[in-house]
A = this chain, B = another copy of it.
Amino acid sequence: MVVSEDLRKAMKETKERFCSKVVGEGKFEEIDHVYTVDARILPPGAPLMRGREAIKQFWQTGIAALGIKGARLTTLELEMAGDTAVEIGEAELHLGENGTAIAKYIVHWKRVDDQWLWDKDIWNMN
């Protein structure tokens, strides 16, 4: 399926916001512009969590605990269906002295107003 350049651009913005603002600068309020209001995350080793407050808390704690200094998200596949899209991707997590960890993920995107946001987010390590 053809994915429009506009969609790719909007998605790139959301991903960069997460990587640079949330992970890089610790601005967890930016999660409001990354995840939908009712988003669900399914992290390894923890139960499903729902909503921006829970997600902020998860990333704030997790980024500190794991020592994540930076992240890069690479789209491997992207399929649109109406105002939603399913992405398979790879996350490169920069752990400072501890090197780099690679995770893979599936994100279910939704268009909300003019933004494309993460509604469901699950990942695991390779």
Which residues of A approach B to under 8 Å, CB–CB? 40, 42-48, 76-77, 79, 81-82, 84, 86, 88, 104-106, 108, 120, 122-126
Contact = CB atoms under 8 A, between A and B. Distances in A.
What are the nearest 5 A-B pairs in CB distance? Answer: A81-B81, A44-B124, A124-B124, A106-B122, A81-B84
A105 B105 CA distance: 11
Copies of this chain in its oligomeric complex: 2
Contacts of A79: 84, 108
Contacts of A88: 40, 42, 48, 120
B42 A124 contact: yes
Contacts of A43: 124
A106 B104 contact: no
A103 B5 CA distance: 36
Given A84-B86, A123-B124, 12 more contacts: A40-B88, A42-B104, A42-B106, A43-B124, A45-B124, A48-B88, A79-B84, A81-B82, A86-B86, A104-B122, A106-B120, A122-B123
